[in-house]
Amino acid sequence: MERVIMVGPVPPPYGGVASVMDDIAHSDLQEDYGIAVFPRIPKEMFPYADHGCIGRNVFRVQRFISFFFTARRGRYRILHMQSADTKEFLGSAIFMALARLAGLKAILHIQGCDWDRFYPKTSLFRKLYTRVGLWVPNRIIVLYGVWVDEIKKMYPAANVRIVKNLLHDQPPPEPAAVERVRKNLELTLDDFVVISVGSVGWRKGTFEILKAVPKVVAEEDSVRFVLVGGESLPGEMDKLQEIIEKENLGKWVRLTGEVPRDKVPLYLALGQVYVLPSFIEGMPVAIIEAMRSGLPVISTRVQGIPDMMVDRESGLLIDPGRPDQIAENVLLLKRDEAFRKKIAAGGRKAFEEVFEFSRGIEQIRQIYRELYPVQGAARTSAARNPS
pLDDT tens-place values along the chain, 387 residues long: 679 999 988 766 555 677 778 888 888 898 889 999 998 876 545 455 456 777 778 888 989 999 999 999 888 999 999 988 778 899 999 999 999 999 999 999 998 777 888 898 899 999 999 999 999 999 999 988 889 999 999 999 999 999 888 888 889 999 999 999 999 999 999 999 999 998 899 999 999 999 999 999 999 999 999 999 988 889 999 999 999 999 999 999 999 998 888 899 999 999 999 999 999 887 888 999 999 999 999 999 998 899 899 999 999 999 999 999 999 999 999 999 999 999 999 999 999 988 888 878 889 999 999 999 876 555 455 445 543
- Separation of alpha carbons 28 and 319, rounded Å: 39
- Measured in whole angstroms, the distance separating CA 302 from the mean position of its chain's CA atoms is 14
Q: Do 4-166+356-384 and 175-355 show the same overall fold? A: yes
Domain edges within the chain: 4-166+356-384, 175-355
- Separation of alpha carbons 254 and 276, rounded Å: 15
CATH, domain range 4-166+356-384: 3.40.50.2000
- Measured in whole angstroms, the distance separating CA 57 from the mean position of its chain's CA atoms is 28
- Residue 165 has a CB neighbour count (10 Å cut-off) of 23
User: Which residues 6+ apart lie within 8 Å of 293 measured at CB?
Assistant: 172, 265, 268, 269, 271, 274
Topology given in CATH for the domain delimited by 175-355: Rossmann fold (3.40.50)
